[in-house]
């Protein structure tokens, strides 16, 4: 259950990271409210998952999911550059997230 909550927390982190772009510096009300709600939910779920999982693993996976998701969505939503090196390092990040899942020593 902790891993499920952690993945949801990571997906919410991705949402608030992308949401920051739409808030235009927190000058737009609805995107700002949704972004803040995603931040609160994401951190809350991270906190619950960290009750069971090692904090270093939980935090690294949470940040990794958010960063990977934000980078991929940035490519599709904001036409950010796609280079072989960027794709390689995003794949490496995904590999690291999966590796941490299987070597965490916590709840599986």
Per-residue pLDDT tens digits for 45-58 = 999 999 999 999 99
Per-residue pLDDT tens digits for 33-44 = 999 999 999 999
pLDDT at 24 over 80: yes
Q: What is the dihedral of CA 8, 73, 69, 67, to 10 degrees?
A: -130
DSSP assignment letter at 1: -
Give residue 107's pLDDT. 53
Between 104 and 66, residue with greater pLDDT: 66
pLDDT at 102 over 80: yes
Query: 66, 13 in Cβ contact below 8 A?
Result: yes
Give residue 74's pLDDT. 96
Give residue 108's pLDDT. 47
Give residue 104's pLDDT. 80
- Mean pLDDT computed over every residue of the chain: 95
């Amino acid at each position: 259950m902790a891993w499920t909550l952690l993945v949801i927390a990571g997906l919410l982190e991705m949402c608030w990271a992308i949401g920051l772009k739409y808030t235009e510096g927190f000058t737009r009300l609805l995107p700002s409210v949704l972004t803040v709600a995603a931040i609160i939910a994401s951190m809350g779920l991270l906190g619950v998952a960290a009750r069971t999982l090692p904090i270093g693993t939980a935090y690294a996976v949470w940040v990794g999911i958010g960063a990977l998701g934000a980078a991929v969505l940035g490519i599709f939503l904001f036409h950010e550059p796609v280079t072989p090196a960027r794709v390689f390092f995003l794949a490496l990040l995904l590999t690291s997230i999966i590796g941490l899942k299987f070597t965490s020593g916590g709840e599986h």
